[in-house]
A and B are shown apart, each in its own frame.
Chain A
Amino acid sequence: MKIVVCIKQVPDTTEIKIDPKTGTLIREGVPSIMNPDDKGGLEMALQLKEENGAHITVITMGPPQADLILREAFAMGADRAIHLSDRKFAGADTLATSSALAGALRKLDFDLLITGRQAIDGDTAQVGPQIAEHLDLPQVSYLEDLKFDGDKTFTMKRHIEDGYQMLEVEAPCVVTVISSANTPRYMSVGGIVDAYQKEVEVWGFNEIDVDEADLGLKGSPTSVYKAFARGLKPAGELYEVSTDEAVGIIIKKMKEKFIL
């Protein structure tokens, strides 16, 4: 089986702050990580590889420093890594991002394409489904578990709002995985030692199969009108009092605010 996993480098948003004046992210000193859902997707691929045997390619589109997550993927057990990097890809919104990724995927042969459900920075959850549309492949989003029958068919468990959906899907197909699907493994020490000996293939516009007009700023119909940070709420007041007293305080406060 051949599996491709799309991975994205994101700022670790658990450590991120937003500049209240400009409304932009303060990136300084914020570590970059592999997007958590994508790590879950890679782990799913690695488990499939252990159970059924598979060849895993990881692919990312991003600036040169995104090389780090490809090395990390090698150290976890990926077999091949492709880095999409070209000035023509710059300024892409989700549609142009998915066009570029689809352009690369047309050059690859795969049975299963895994993306994360959502990136923790952009947060749109659009790229996976858009790729499936570009390539005209069946897609299953919010995937939590997946089994392969060894031939052609995947049995999938999909997380939906009030329960699960079980599906059977034939290869080739696209899935978007949620990070709660599994606990990703650590990179192995031996894998890290090898990760920088292996070659990351860097692909530009010439290596992929896509219309130039669909790429970068030109291929991006979205434009950001304004970005702003929500104001911080002031710290609450803390009273350590008996229940009766507490009720009294709450009622008084609610009256002050004309809630009661």
Chain B
Amino acid sequence: MNFSLTKEQELFQQMIRDFAENEVKPIAAEVDEQERFPAETVEKMGKIGILGIPIPKQYGGAGGDNLMYSIAVEELSAVCGTTGVIVSAHTSLCAAPILEHGTEEQKQKYLPKLASGEWLGAFGLTEPNAGTDAAGQQTTAIEDGDNYIINGSKIFITNAGYAHVYVIFAMTDRSKGTRGITAFIIEKDTPGFSFGKKEKKMGIRGSATCELIFENCVLPKTNMLGKLNKGFGIAMKTLDGGRIGIAAQALGIAQGAIDETVKYVKERKQFGRAISAFQNTQFQLADMNTKTEASRMLVRKAAYKKDNKIAYSVDAAMAKLYAAETAMEVTNKAVQLHGGYGYTREYPIERMMRDAKITEIYEGTSEVQKMVISANMLK
């Protein structure tokens, strides 16, 4: 058993760290404050291959693996949670299902442009009345000759408006419940497809979260992803992979908060000495670091299993559950160790705490992860 990164992974981590430090960190506070989607970062990431890490070379990707991908999301999220989720939703929720379930034509058409960042990707499953209960889809797709006519709406969709390619889900047979859901690929400029209101959020405020609206939207049958009525399985499988990305995002946020806090407690003086000299500070830091390192092990184990084609869905659920709760706990403690300064926007810590919260909610709430984990224990 080996817990170290390979030389290649280390070189990759070094590159991503440099990129995060020089291109992402300097604008992170502004992107949050202005609720601005960092389009320039997306372009830069596309150029060097960060948007196509686990996509094979034959489809224009970097030919890397999920472990590298998780390292990228971790390192980016350590300085900017927004950037982490942009990459995660694009890669795990759009490019990955097309790679896994797409026809050769679909792969040829979409993957090279997704990998280069020319097209950003998104994923639309959640609806106003279908959140945790994703089976309660109300969006419909009615067969009409060579086409499907889509009607309905999706809510809270990451990258919406900026993405060109959307993997969405709709009921093709209402009588069959989850066995009547089908996945489709839909492009931004398709007639009948528009965007609704943009959410104002607590955290990851630079990331676009928007409604998708379908009004008699005509989609050729060639845009069906996977088989008819097999969409629910595709959604669940996609979210299994996505959870590695979100777990990595949570891990990165926790690590970023630790890095800031270690710096701060060595500088801040009270009672004539650095606050790092207080045992409470030391013990808090020890707990924060231990839990974050444990999160990292869970994230990497899940990514390793996915890369090696070993069933990983419980591992991904555990990684996401634990990393998200750790991110929340660690950022909360980090604000506490920063005192009043941590509560202000002078320091990045309050942003990290706001960003951390979403990791307990999207791609399955923590409660959902517990359902996945316990169901496997009790089956």
B12 interfacial by beta-carbon distance below 8 Å: yes
Are B8 and A186 within 8 A (Cβ)? no
A203 interfacial by beta-carbon distance below 8 Å: no
- Whether A192 contacts B11 in the complex (CB less than 8 A), given A186-B48, A187-B48, comes out as yes
Closest-CB distance, A209 to chain B (whole angstroms):
32
Measured CA separation A186–B22 after assembly (Å): 11
Are A189 and B50 within 8 A (Cβ)? yes
Contact partners of A194 in chain B: CB under 8 A: 63
Closest-CB distance, B95 to chain A (whole angstroms):
14
Contact partners of B15 in chain A: CB under 8 A: 75, 186-187, 189, 192
Are A187 and B11 within 8 A (Cβ)? yes
Closest-CB distance, B58 to chain A (whole angstroms):
12
Are A193 and B7 within 8 A (Cβ)? no
* Interface SS majority for chain A: helix
- Give the contacts of B20-73 with A (CB-CB under 8 A): 48-50, 52-53, 57, 61-64, 68, 72
Measured CA separation A71–B6 after assembly (Å): 13
Per-residue contact bits, chain A 186-198, to B (CB 8 Å; 1 contact, 0 not): 1111111111100
Are A193 and B18 within 8 A (Cβ)? no
A90 interfacial by beta-carbon distance below 8 Å: no
Q: Determine the residue in chain A with the shortest Cβ distance to B69.
A: A189
Number of A positions contacting B (CB below 8 A): 16
Are A72 and B68 within 8 A (Cβ)? no
Determine which residue in B15, B19, B50, B53 has the highest number of CB atoms from chain A within 10 A of its CB, and name it: B15
- Give the contacts of A204-228 with B (CB-CB under 8 A): none
Are A189 and B11 within 8 A (Cβ)? no
- Whether A186 contacts B19 in the complex (CB less than 8 A), given A71-B7, A72-B11, comes out as yes
Task: Give the contacting residue for B53; candidates A75, A185, A187, A189; CB below 8 A.
Answer: A189
Measured CA separation A72–B19 after assembly (Å): 14
Are B8 and A190 within 8 A (Cβ)? no
Are B7 and A190 within 8 A (Cβ)? no
Task: Give the contacting residue for B62; candidates A186, A189, A196; CB below 8 A.
Answer: A189
Are B49 and A188 within 8 A (Cβ)? yes
Determine which residue in B7, B18, B49 has the highest number of CB atoms from chain A within 10 A of its CB, and name it: B49
Determine which residue in A185, A188, A190 has the highest number of CB atoms from chain B within 10 A of its CB, and name it: A190
Contact partners of B50 in chain A: CB under 8 A: 189
Are A195 and B11 within 8 A (Cβ)? yes
Contact partners of A48 in chain B: CB under 8 A: none
Measured CA separation A193–B48 after assembly (Å): 12
Contact partners of B48 in chain A: CB under 8 A: 185-189
Are A196 and B64 within 8 A (Cβ)? no
Q: Determine the residue in chain A with the shortest Cβ distance to B72.
A: A189
Are B52 and A189 within 8 A (Cβ)? yes
Task: Give the contacting residue for B7; candidates A185, A187, A189, A196; CB below 8 A.
Answer: A196
Per-residue contact bits, chain B 257-301, to A (CB 8 Å; 1 contact, 0 not): 000000000000000000000000000000000000000000000
Contact partners of B12 in chain A: CB under 8 A: 189, 192
Q: Determine the residue in chain A with the shortest Cβ distance to B64.
A: A193
Are B61 and A190 within 8 A (Cβ)? yes
A202 interfacial by beta-carbon distance below 8 Å: no
Task: Give the contacting residue for A71; candidates B11, B53, B62, B68; CB below 8 A.
Answer: B11
Measured CA separation A39–B61 after assembly (Å): 25
Task: Give the contacting residue for A189; candidates B6, B18, B64; CB below 8 A.
Answer: B64
Closest-CB distance, B353 to chain A (whole angstroms):
30
Are B8 and A189 within 8 A (Cβ)? no
Measured CA separation A13–B161 after assembly (Å): 45
Measured CA separation A191–B6 after assembly (Å): 15
Contact partners of A190 in chain B: CB under 8 A: 49, 52, 57, 61-64
Q: Determine the residue in chain A with the shortest Cβ distance to B44.
A: A186
- Which chain B residues have a beta carbon within 8 Å of chain A's beta carbons? 6-8, 11-12, 15, 18-19, 48-50, 52-53, 57, 61-64, 68, 72
Q: Identify 13 residue pairs between A and B in the complex whose beta-carbon atoms are under 8 Å apart, listed by A's number.
A: A71-B7, A185-B48, A187-B11, A189-B49, A189-B72, A190-B49, A190-B57, A190-B63, A191-B49, A192-B12, A192-B62, A193-B63, A195-B11
Shortest beta-carbon contacts, A-B, top 6: A189-B49, A189-B62, A190-B62, A187-B15, A196-B8, A188-B49
Told that A71-B11, A189-B15 touch, could you supply 20 new A-B pairs with CB distance under 8 A?
A: A68-B7, A68-B11, A71-B7, A186-B18, A186-B19, A186-B48, A189-B12, A189-B62, A189-B72, A190-B64, A191-B49, A192-B11, A192-B15, A192-B62, A192-B64, A193-B8, A193-B64, A193-B68, A195-B11, A196-B6
